[in-house]
Amino acid sequence: MPSPLRELLELMTQSVDALERVCEEKGTPIPDLDAPFTPQSEAFRKDPAAAEATKVIVAAAHHICAIVSRPTDQLYTFVAGPTRAAAVRTCLEANVSEILREAGPSGMHVKDIAEKNGHDAEKLARFLRYLATGHIFREIAPDVFAHNRVSSMLDTHKPSEEVIAKPESKYDNTRGVAAQVSHHLDLTFKAASQAWETLADPQTRLSNEPEDAPFARAFPADKTLWNLLERDAHARNRFDLTMIASAAAQPPDAIFRAFAWETLPADALVVEVGGGMGTSAFPLAARFPRLRLVVQDLPGAVATAAPLWAARLPAALASGRVLLQPHDCFAPQPHAPAVFLLKMILHDWPDAHAARILARLRAAARADTVLVLVDCLVPYACRAAPAPAPDGAPAVPGAADFQAPAPLLANYGAANEFVYIMDMMMHMLFNAQERTVPQFTRLLQSEGWGVRAVHRTHEGNGIFLQSIEAVPI
């Protein structure tokens, strides 16, 4: 029998062959690591075969590293997390990305970088060299650094002089991931430093309250992220940009695959609970003009959404076909629609609070109301058969996780690490979580909802932005 190492190598070789074959057929080149990111460089990933091959390559590469690395080296890929985060944040907030973009592919000596941003050249070189060792930035000559595909994601694409002179508005009017990275390396990073202290404290270790999240220990005057965002305009703007960046990274047709919207009758009402600026309602309103939509959120979010809708779909607002409604999701629900839509909402709340939201919706629901949850679905790292349906009921379509070919971890390992990062972030910030399908099923059933179907796509291995369709029971 071949060793696991050989099996993994064979999987990787087969997947590299498949990826190269698809890219040649489609005319979509494999990305150049040394070139800055462009949207076109991701075109290859739209092909399902290429996307699957990529996941297997990443999973197999990390699995091989785990086998052949010294255990301490493998362990320190996690232990060294704070140093990696600190290096990225330093180069991000010191505006290195903007300076190097202006320098071009020939790069810039660290002394010249320091002359522009006023930082210590020797220290900057150490941070940059550490990141370049992990394929973030490139050291193209001693102490001369340049962008690559990964580091270019940190660029706001603003003039370096502007972001250096006005750091407080660096992320204003940007669309990339720089604001998102800054948000997490600031607030989430500080909250994470208090995770063990929160779990070790008998007063908070078993708590199911958002005010007992690690965030509250890191920011005791605010207690919750929402309170901090209310008082800190810079953090609020950066958070809003984080949400925009997250939405931009999602497949444009993701919401259309969450439910068979075309089956709804004319004038059917869809209520998006916690809809923010309406990033899901926009495409629905544009593609299905016969539907009526209500986008609910707190007053501040609704005020932010109104000018966006007025600019993008003014007729929908003027006709009343779309209503932006201030509403607290913990208050009684005023509508009994055809569909309640919750996109990335329940992951912000611990089970007890998520149950309260679901209870309000169940109390308002008609017998034929459908609840559509668009969220992450966390797979197990082991190979597990789907849980049997209760009382001999038929299995729920789509409930079983997609599984990677052996000997890869069933969840594709590091290729799908993002969902577990999200899970940890939800814990640090909100004392909340991403959930497995069985966890969603139990939560929904506790408040009178039954899972009717799980709609998965192979994008993200059926993890990110998948949907659960539930009905009153």
Q: Which residues are catalytic?
A: 347
- Find the helix or strand (DSSP H, E) in which 218 lies: helix 214-218
Which two tokens mark 320?
Answer: 């009343």
Q: Sheet containing 466-472: give its strands across.
A: 322-326, 292-297, 269-273, 339-343, 370-375, 466-472, 449-455
| Cα 19 from Cα 322, distance rounded (Å) | 43
Helices 81-93, 121-133: axis angle to 10 degrees equals 120
SS3 253: coil
**366: number of Cβ within 10 Å:** 10
For residue 44, is it left (φ>0), alpha (ψ between -120 and 50) or beta? alpha
**228: number of Cβ within 10 Å:** 17
Per the CB < 8 A criterion, the answer to whether 192 and 214 are in contact is: yes
| Cα 334 from Cα 426, distance rounded (Å) | 29
Q: Cβ neighbours of residue 262 under 8 Å, at least 6 residues apart? A: 288
CA end-to-end distance (rounded Å), the chain: 51
**410: number of Cβ within 10 Å:** 17
Angstrom CA distances, 32 to 42, 43, 103, stand at: 11, 13, 19
Identify the DSSP state of 184: I
Q: Which is nearest to 256 in space by CA: 276, 275, 282?
A: 282
Identify the residue whose tokens are 């040394």.
Answer: 34
